Each structure stands twice: as structure tokens, then as C-alpha cells.
Structure 1
Amino acid sequence: MTHLDDEPTTAPPAHDASVSRPSRRVVLASAGAGVGAVALAGCGSAQDAANTAVSSASDAAAGAVKDAISKATIPVGGGKVFADQKLVVTQPASGEFKAFSAVCTHQSCVVADVADGTINCACHGSKFDITTGAVKNGPASSPLPEKKVTVSGDGISVT
């Protein structure tokens, strides 16, 4: 009869410190990079893909905020700057809404605020008319580009 105590035992192999193994982080990062490279291979350059992703994300974010503008948030005789969307919406007279690019035509700073009938750039002091976007005070020499405003119910959308 054989007893269990008589059977030879084998110890698990000891860790061999001389064998270099990549860390879990390196393995995961390499796998992710490989998948990304394969996905991009058929769709153009990595830069094109990155530009498309950024553009799509910013378009979606801009659309969401533009559609969410409440008429009540735009003061009569004033306006509001949506810096993330590079948009300024004004209400020169009750119920009359205007929208302009919030990028100053002088050196491309985003305008800071709307006060006293003007859209104001804090970078160099340019001021633009809240009704037309025309320059009221330089150094800017070109008006702010106007955007199309659609009023529906209590909301405003800008395209």
C-alpha cells in the first residue's frame, strides 16, 4: 500500500529574479496602443482622427449649450458670454436677440463681458455694439461676426 506521506512532493517554482517581466501597466498600455493603431490604420492619419474627435466633441458640446440658452438668462440691454462655445448672445431691446462670435477680431481673445451697451474685450480694450457687432472702440477694426438666432418658446438656439 502506498501512503500519501510516501509520495514525493514538488514545491512550486521559485520566482526567478533574473527574468525581466513587463509591469501590468506596460502590458495594458501596449495593448491599448495596438488597438488604437489598428483602428486608425484604415481611417487616415492619427492626426486626422484626433482632429475629428476633438471637432465632433466640441460641436456636440456647443450644440447642447446653444440649444439650452434660456431667454430669461439674457438681460435686456445686455448679454451673456458663453466662453466655452466662443459665443456671445445679446438682447438689445426686449424680445430682440442677437448672437456674435465671442472671439475678438483684434487678436483673437475671447471677449470678457457685456455691459453698458457693448461687448467688451479685456485683452486690449476693444468694444463692440450689442446690436450689430460693429466696433465702437478699438484697437479692433473689424466687427464681430454675427450668428443666426432662432427663438422658440422660452429658448434660444444659435447656428
Structure 2
Amino acid sequence: MTRRLSRRRYVVGTGAALATGLLAGCSGGGDGSGDGGGGDGSAGEPADDVPSEIDDYLSENEARLYEGTIADYTGEDEVVVDVGAGEIGFAFDPAAIRIDAGTTVVWEWTGEGGAHNVVSAEGSASDFESGDQVAEEGTTFEQSFDDAGVQLYYCTPHQSNGMHGAIEVIE
């Protein structure tokens, strides 16, 4: 079951897991970070053990909304990443995520920051691209990641503005 927590956040799960995710999402500091905020290991909880390849890529490219942590979404079937997040709409939120192999990532456009796309970067474990640049809110692009590895990506028109993201896929 997928349930929308706010305009752009989903929690995937059932029963106690869903209740825990909903409570954790409500206990955040109201900063819109979507990190679960509860400190109870719920989906999206930030972790400091960012792989160096991801940290280097996001730091060197001055990725917006990247604060040296990775949002842990292991155990989820589907994860949503906002496209056009942040104050001026030039960010992915969250900028770095950790998922299990077999998880589907859904990039969802916020309608902010102009037209965006999602393109895998050189050095990414696989190639993927959302296609044409789109500005319309609610547009989505889905990609399943079946093999472990690091996925690096960016928005073509805004890569010089720090619109970069990364995914760690684990077995």
C-alpha cells in the first residue's frame, strides 16, 4: 500500500510499519526535510555512513540539499524523490538515498524551478534517463534498480546549479 503523507511524500507499508512511518513523519521539526525525524529507524532516517563515491560526487558538484547524510529507505518497495525541490527548485529531495536491490525509485516533479530531467552520470552503475525536460507538476519517472551499486544522476539544465543526486543500492 502506498500512502501520501504530504503533498510529495509517500510511505510504503502496511500495519505497524505504516503506523510507525506515519508517526515518525509527524514528529519531524516541520522543516520539510521528509527524513522521518523520529530517530526510530523509520524509512528515510538520515545515516552518516555515506559511501565515499556518493559523498565525493555530491560534495564536488555542490549538490543542493545534501548535508553529508544519506536517507535510508531499505525495506521499502518504492521511494519517491522530489524533482525541483528547495528554495529555488534546483534540487532533488532527498539528494542521497539508500535502497535495497529491486526497489523502484519514482522521481516526481514539483513544478518548481523550470524544466527538469533525470540523467545518470558518468560513473553510475547503470544508465537511465527520464527523457525530455519537463516542468509540469506531478510528472513522474520510474526506474527499478535490481543490482547493487552506486547510481549517480543530475538534471541537465541545472547541473551547474547543484542539481545532483545519488542512490546506493545494496543487496
The TM-score range, normalised by the shorter chain, is: under 0.3
TM-score norm. by structure 2 comes to: 0.25
| Greater helix content | 1
| Greater strand content | 2
